[in-house]
Structure 1
């Protein structure tokens, strides 16, 4: 799902183009109370973009003070947009928490914030005595990666790039890891496999020589080992956000000897990741994803063939621990080192699904299902597990419970699962906050963040109640955020009309999140921006959302629709959509809009629609199926033609499955399949479009390549529909760069102003 926005100094050029329009619309501000001045819009965006978000936390060891009290230090990392420097600045904050192992007695900040620079991965040793950091740094104009060991000061720094044992270290959340052995003598991480140097067929022997320094300090020439004619060989990577990540290897650093070795025994046809040390440091447990026949995109796609493996360090033997006919991910070893829990999905089908929570007993070698797939919400309200990963630390101290955050309908809650009974308890069900995230749990001390559409993230801690206890979580706030009382939000439950019920999965409902200014000034009706999410198997939870918050401050209301097919509502809800995209999801969004408009606080003549990816697919469908209903449309990297997308995307299976066909990598598609994909696409209705459209495209998007947007742009130009296209170099599907985020927001806001108030 895409997040609108881009950079101020670049945005000023766009603002200059829009200034005459905005000035001509200034009269609208008096009648509708919507802010239309570009400088004021930019000021509000800048103000709200300053709220930081929490990315990680770590709890230090328990220390006993000279007076007998116990305390722990909590280290947290935050991220904040910096518009001037065009970067997401990372910084750390520390807190001290006095406790009695059951409750927090006192807590306070400890020291000032410190900027974190160049850190790719970091991990504290089990004892808390040392810290490992993988950092990138520029050496003589080239980027190098260093592995540093710290205690009170830096103990050592090893240039991994100079060792030439492997390629770049993987820092992503899907493959990447940095794990201490229990003995704290070795570190485990994942890096790209080293490839032999390639050279031209016409490389001469003299030019293939390199210089190095001999033992006496003199220069000597060495012949490079190179393979001729291999410079331009194509290597498949793992798709969107994993570009140039093709063949990962498991690497081990011997800290004392400064030696790095690449583990042998991993099958050539799998990519290892999410690794950790086996009990007793006897080997390494990891998830392995199959290469053949194709590497399909992995980001947000936990439905790829994968399994759990163990490689023995002594003999190099690799053993498969879990089923080979499913998708396995996010394994976590219990503190007592007896059990491994992991998530499991069915192969292919919906990219995001309701997952099983499975458990592997290290000593009995038996696998069990702790929590199964939930088809419909249970009587206790539990709707199933929907996670791309479990937190790195998610076990209770007694190794009997798993704690994680998970969407439950349109909220995100902290859940505790008893591994013996499979019972699920919400730790935040009584909270007024709409979204919780687990940062870590250590010795049953939970560190979490919480937020709502009118409240940026806050930091809280609390001790996990004991098993079978009826005690409620008691949360202590370490860092309070500023609530915006002028923004109101509510979750609407919607039941589609009987003629739109799904005959195969009847009786399903869905929800929408309505965010709006708390008070309408002078009785003026609010313009409404409709925002369906992408995926389609995703969800918008009641979290802090920058763009909707800014729109509310400008005087707009925003309706975020979790149509049928969204995660968090049960597996049946998800399965109801494939084969029905372009109809069921479109009808749900339109029904949500019409239901909201029955009230008298919204101006039905000032409706806009926006969305990214599949949300852009829906936005383009809505303006085609309901001509003139929406006065403005903004689409971020939208899917507009599944038939043309299937050959160029990193997820061709998505195009077929969502259109209603089965996917096999070696199938030759019949004409009927291409016709089916085309019939589900927004481009089918382009001849009916009258709404002005702004297209925002990432030039490096591998998921929905930018040619999709260009195809729609050309079709609209041919129909003489007002259309504008912005292309963002260096940005992928989510338009993640700060300048792309802020500029796309400014252009979107001014597009709405221009076309809703003309």
Structure 2
């Protein structure tokens, strides 16, 4: 470890963080070739690709973007970069391009450009339309509707063109101007409702209240709204109308009544599939109320609708569906819905159980094929003939890409990197991103084949490999559950693989989430500091099957803590983790686990504990979080959908159960130095209980620090993430090298 000691100098830490933050990550690939080239020659290979990259610029404190062009070189059989990277030209002074869409015929691209006025808090928005000759026109959004605001939120926005690029669908809100006058003067026009509580969609969506679908005629600069009282509409799409004078539009709608539950990271919210018919000409001026096509007969959560397109839209819709309520992330069904008949067919069921395979050497593994664990389908997910749907899903150790045959529902894995994500499918050419613990994300391209899809790397592989990281995986039987296994990924600096060294134990949040063997900047930085790590997927994680997820419900604070303890002891015995230098680090439910185990097992003499926005007391959190159902489900074991009138602890016993499972119940036994990282704007796990935990530790004479940031739950603002890294590194250094315990 002495070889790494100088790296804990603050200037060296800053340099390391900057080095990794500036490593570019591919985010989008654009096929430059005309569609006609693919149509005329079935063997045509894409000749030119534009790859968009992002990096976190710590000097300008913003995410920067640039493009690189790669051209097919026949002689070498590879794609080669042409020219220098170009900063995305749409990012001009004062205006940002927040959304963009390209028509299916490839002849028109539309951008949403926005400019914020910091003094008035108003945002100017313009729709800019380009074709192959240059700028066609610009539309001031306020000219469509003075109260219209197109939603630009990265996690909730939509921007969809129809096939010829003449009509645009986007997610929008109508701004309520009646409540904006904050003047204390009572002589002005009085509004009795000006202080009425208005509930947003929670974490990350704190300024989004009720969403509609804006349908914009780009040729006539006209707009109508698809709107439904008591429902927020989102994820719009076009589908086959059967009448050229009619536009058929579908979308998903989330219930707003009797009150909203936080939406982000939650695939269990009640929602429906909606549809509407709109006359093209004359384009109306009144709002259109869509009708429910599917989902009103059961408590379902529907997301990611996709429509097959081949010289026209289909009237069949595929989407992911889960049962509403229960665990916040869970296995999904892949559904196939016929608009005309209103019949549903399940392509992949959520009840698939992953098999445990016992090997001759005594070890075990899980089978390759299981249910789908995914937040959404790729934007283009169909093969050219419509016979296959391509998708990504978490597996026990990875995130993999798959293809399912519509006819017989058979599933095959597209195995070309440790962890993969499909970003586009164009005329059967599959474009994906692949990475690993020791490999930054790379762009892969290959033509889909029913028998063997071969993918090749497009960008430069040599500069993407992290040579100093070694890693591996293991499975352990869980002591709480028969025939269920914990999965974990360990990493180590190469020079320390067979040497004893300090280790950072990192359970994920959720708790229904998952660590995959993919690139993680935090792990790479720990490696630079000479630290081993272990990423822990305890029982209750996603990636196995639904039974595995639901096993944890009602058992938080017991079985997950035991799983974590067993992994720590395994690492000490088998992977040279120094038992005197065990560092705990977790966020959200991971923070719940590291603070819980530090109180339940003080005999482990943990070196340090770092908790980011941890769940400290489930019984307190239930009254202040945007997801009170989480507290009821996880602490009390509620697997089924429960009405909102019952989402609270209904007696003293239930409140007591919530408290007894929480870290606060064990704080009297905590002796490990603890660093708390809290976000003031966190609506998911609000920070006051974290402050309480900090105060009690101080009162008990336990070494503790508490850092509070102007950020939300993930603490991912560039300046916040930077400060967290520096402080975590210095906190760890203190106990590794000076050990003040």
TM-score normalized by structure 1?
A: 0.86
| Secondary structure, aligned partner of 1:313 | strand
Matches within 5 A, 1:232-381: 232-263=195-226, 266-280=227-241, 282-314=247-279, 316=288, 318-324=290-296, 325-336=299-310, 337-378=314-355, 381=368
Structure 2 CA distance, aligned partners of 1:438 and 1:660?
Answer: 37
Cα-to-partner distance string for 1:37-87 (whole Å, 9 max, x where unaligned): 33223322222222122222332434659x997645433322101111111
Equivalent residue in structure 2 for 1:113, among 85, 95, 101: 85
RMSD (Å) for aligned C-alpha atoms: 2.6
Structure 2 CA distance, aligned partners of 1:130 and 1:501?
Answer: 57
Cα-to-partner distance string for 1:370-397 (whole Å, 9 max, x where unaligned): 0001452148521210111111111111
The reply to whether residue 434 of structure 1 matches residue 418 of structure 2 is yes
Which residue is equivalent to 1:44?
16
- Kept in 2, the 8 Å contact 1:199–1:230? The answer is no
Matches within 5 A, 1:463-612: 463-465=447-449, 469-480=450-461, 481-496=463-478, 500-502=479-481, 506-520=482-496, 524-599=499-574, 601-612=576-587
| Secondary structure, aligned partner of 2:432 | strand
Which residue is equivalent to 1:397?
384
The reply to whether residue 649 of structure 1 matches residue 649 of structure 2 is no
Change (3 A) 1:550 1:322: same
- Kept in 1, the 8 Å contact 2:389–2:403? The answer is yes
| Secondary structure, aligned partner of 1:715 | helix
**Deviates further, 635-644 or 316-325:** 316-325
Change (3 A) 1:608 1:728: same
- Kept in 2, the 8 Å contact 1:200–1:230? The answer is no
- Kept in 2, the 8 Å contact 1:199–1:229? The answer is no
| Secondary structure, aligned partner of 2:721 | helix
- Kept in 2, the 8 Å contact 1:698–1:732? The answer is yes
- Kept in 1, the 8 Å contact 2:442–2:457? The answer is no
Equivalent residue in structure 2 for 1:385, among 354, 359, 372: 372
Structure 1 CA distance, aligned partners of 2:606 and 2:183?
Answer: 61
- Kept in 1, the 8 Å contact 2:584–2:606? The answer is yes
Equivalent residue in structure 2 for 1:87, among 40, 62, 72: 62
| Secondary structure, aligned partner of 2:309 | coil
Equivalent residue in structure 2 for 1:673, among 640, 651, 654: 654
Structure 1 CA distance, aligned partners of 2:633 and 2:698?
Answer: 31
Structure 2 CA distance, aligned partners of 1:389 and 1:81?
Answer: 25
Structure 2 CA distance, aligned partners of 1:479 and 1:254?
Answer: 42
The reply to whether residue 637 of structure 1 matches residue 617 of structure 2 is no
Structure 2 CA distance, aligned partners of 1:140 and 1:198?
Answer: 19
- Kept in 1, the 8 Å contact 2:444–2:455? The answer is no
Change (3 A) 1:563 1:198: closer
Equivalent residue in structure 2 for 1:415, among 399, 402, 426: 402
| Secondary structure, aligned partner of 2:691 | helix
Q: Per-residue deviation at 1:247?
A: 0.6
Change (3 A) 1:393 1:244: same
Q: Per-residue deviation at 1:406?
A: 1.4
Structure 2 CA distance, aligned partners of 1:573 and 1:203?
Answer: 56
- Kept in 2, the 8 Å contact 1:62–1:71? The answer is no
Change (3 A) 1:524 1:62: same
Structure 2 CA distance, aligned partners of 1:435 and 1:486?
Answer: 19
Which residue is equivalent to 1:458?
442
Matches within 5 A, 1:24-63: 29=2, 35-60=7-32, 61-62=34-35
- Kept in 1, the 8 Å contact 2:105–2:164? The answer is no
The structure, 1 or 2, with the larger RCO (C-alpha pairs under 8 Å, 6+ apart) is 1
Change (3 A) 1:554 1:414: same
Which residue is equivalent to 1:717?
698
Change (3 A) 1:88 1:174: closer
Matches within 5 A, 1:15-30: 29=2
| Secondary structure, aligned partner of 1:478 | coil
Which residue is equivalent to 1:147?
127
Cα-to-partner distance string for 1:82-129 (whole Å, 9 max, x where unaligned): 111111112233333489xxxx96533344323332121111111111
Structure 2 CA distance, aligned partners of 1:555 and 1:386?
Answer: 34
Which residue is equivalent to 2:663?
682
Structure 2 CA distance, aligned partners of 1:592 and 1:438?
Answer: 32
Q: Per-residue deviation at 1:519?
A: 1.7
Structure 2 CA distance, aligned partners of 1:486 and 1:708?
Answer: 39
- Structure 1 spans left out of the alignment, 5+ residues: 1-27, 209-225
- Kept in 1, the 8 Å contact 2:540–2:551? The answer is yes
Structure 1 CA distance, aligned partners of 2:130 and 2:47?
Answer: 19
Which residue is equivalent to 2:363?
none
Cα-to-partner distance string for 1:689-726 (whole Å, 9 max, x where unaligned): 00001011111100001112112111211211111011
Which residue is equivalent to 1:213?
none
| Secondary structure, aligned partner of 2:495 | coil
Change (3 A) 1:524 1:302: closer
Change (3 A) 1:204 1:87: closer
Which residue is equivalent to 1:448?
432
Equivalent residue in structure 2 for 1:625, among 600, 606, 610: 600
- Kept in 2, the 8 Å contact 1:453–1:545? The answer is yes
Structure 1 CA distance, aligned partners of 2:503 and 2:720?
Answer: 24
**Deviates further, 54-63 or 732-741:** 54-63
Which residue is equivalent to 1:19?
none
Equivalent residue in structure 2 for 1:135, among 100, 108, 113: 113
Q: Per-residue deviation at 1:447?
A: 1.1
- Kept in 1, the 8 Å contact 2:144–2:221? The answer is no
Structure 2 CA distance, aligned partners of 1:590 and 1:529?
Answer: 13
The alignment covers a number of residue pairs equal to 692
- Kept in 2, the 8 Å contact 1:29–1:35? The answer is no
Change (3 A) 1:111 1:147: farther
Structure 1 CA distance, aligned partners of 2:190 and 2:409?
Answer: 55
- Kept in 2, the 8 Å contact 1:608–1:756? The answer is no
Structure 1 CA distance, aligned partners of 2:118 and 2:662?
Answer: 50
| Secondary structure, aligned partner of 1:234 | coil
Structure 1 CA distance, aligned partners of 2:523 and 2:13?
Answer: 13
Cα-to-partner distance string for 1:176-202 (whole Å, 9 max, x where unaligned): 211112342211111112324337699
- Structure 2 spans left out of the alignment, 5+ residues: 358-366
